[in-house]
């Protein structure tokens, strides 16, 4: 009996992939979409990494970067995201019977609302903590803002794919253990809001975003 219980616990731990899905209300998603649509003059071509390179073979999107003063313009988005983040850390702590969780963690970088055209997306596998500038990142969050068939995000190491379902909010580790790639659709557009939850290593979220 003890042996079977130990096997079951071990199996559960092995199956736990640290990719969690939460549900953002549709009306909150619509508020974020409206913020994007009302600030098209501030939308810019999506860039790659610290060098901010544009390469459509790697990533193709139109991005609206936000600052701290833009959080309230997203309605209840960040209030609910805080709740999801706390639930995520609580699950992590309980699954591994840890004496501590993660943190304290904060929003230290600009969130980005991204719109992918048909055939666009993040086309190359990547992870979110790939340079010294980004070492403070601990978790990634992403909310699908549209229902987009045949689109989503694939995590090859975890053998997991999340579908682009409006309101689904995914949280996962930023490190090299969780590389991922966008699932590209040639027939539909896709929108997300994404960002990072980090330790305070001195990288400060800009106060001014879209004004």
More confident residue, 92 or 1: 92
pLDDT of residue 135: 87
* Average pLDDT of span 94-111: 73
Only one residue has tokens 């003063």, namely: 69
pLDDT of residue 126: 93
Q: Is residue 87 part of a domain?
A: yes
> pLDDT tens across 62-79, in order?
999 999 889 999 999 999
* Average pLDDT of span 175-190: 95
Domain of 166 in residue numbering reads as 18-198
> pLDDT tens across 113-165, in order?
999 999 998 999 999 998 888 888 999 999 999 999 999 999 999 999 999 99
* Average pLDDT of span 170-179: 96
Q: Is residue 6 part of a domain?
A: no
Residue 156, domain CATH = 2.60.120.620
pLDDT of residue 133: 83
More confident residue, 25 or 201: 25
Structure tokens of 109?
A: 């970088």
Q: Is residue 112 part of a domain?
A: yes
Q: Is residue 107 part of a domain?
A: yes
Q: Is residue 9 part of a domain?
A: no
pLDDT of residue 178: 96
pLDDT of residue 142: 98
pLDDT of residue 4: 61
Q: Is residue 113 part of a domain?
A: yes
Q: Looking at the 3D structure of the chain, how many domains does it have? A: 1
Q: Is residue 167 part of a domain?
A: yes
More confident residue, 102 or 38: 38
The pLDDT of residue 8 is above 60 = no
Q: Is residue 204 part of a domain?
A: no
Dihedral of CA 82/200/204/58: which sign?
A: negative
């Amino acid at each position: 009996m003890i042996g079977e219980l130990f096997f079951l616990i071990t199996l559960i731990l092995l199956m736990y992939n640290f990719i969690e899905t939460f549900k953002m209300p549709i009306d909150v998603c619509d508020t974020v979409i409206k913020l994007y649509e009302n600030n098209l003059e501030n939308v810019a071509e999506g860039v790659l990494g610290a060098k901010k390179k544009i390469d459509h073979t790697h990533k193709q999107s139109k991005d609206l970067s936000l600052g701290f003063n833009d959080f309230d313009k997203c309605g209840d988005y960040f209030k609910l995201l805080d709740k999801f983040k706390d639930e995520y850390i609580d699950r992590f702590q309980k699954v591994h019977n840890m004496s501590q969780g993660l943190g304290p963690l904060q929003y230290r970088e600009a969130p980005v609302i991204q719109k992918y055209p048909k055939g666009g997306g993040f086309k190359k596998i990547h992870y979110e903590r790939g340079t010294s500038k980004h070492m403070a990142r601990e978790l990634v969050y992403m909310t699908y803002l549209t229902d987009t068939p045949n689109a989503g995000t694939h995590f090859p190491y975890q053998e997991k794919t999340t579908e682009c379902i409006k309101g689904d909010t995914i949280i996962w580790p930023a490190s090299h253990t969780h590389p991922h790639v966008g699932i590209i659709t040639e027939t539909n557009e896709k929108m997300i809001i994404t960002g990072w939850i980090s330790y305070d290593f001195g990288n400060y979220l800009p106060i001014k975003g879209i004004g």
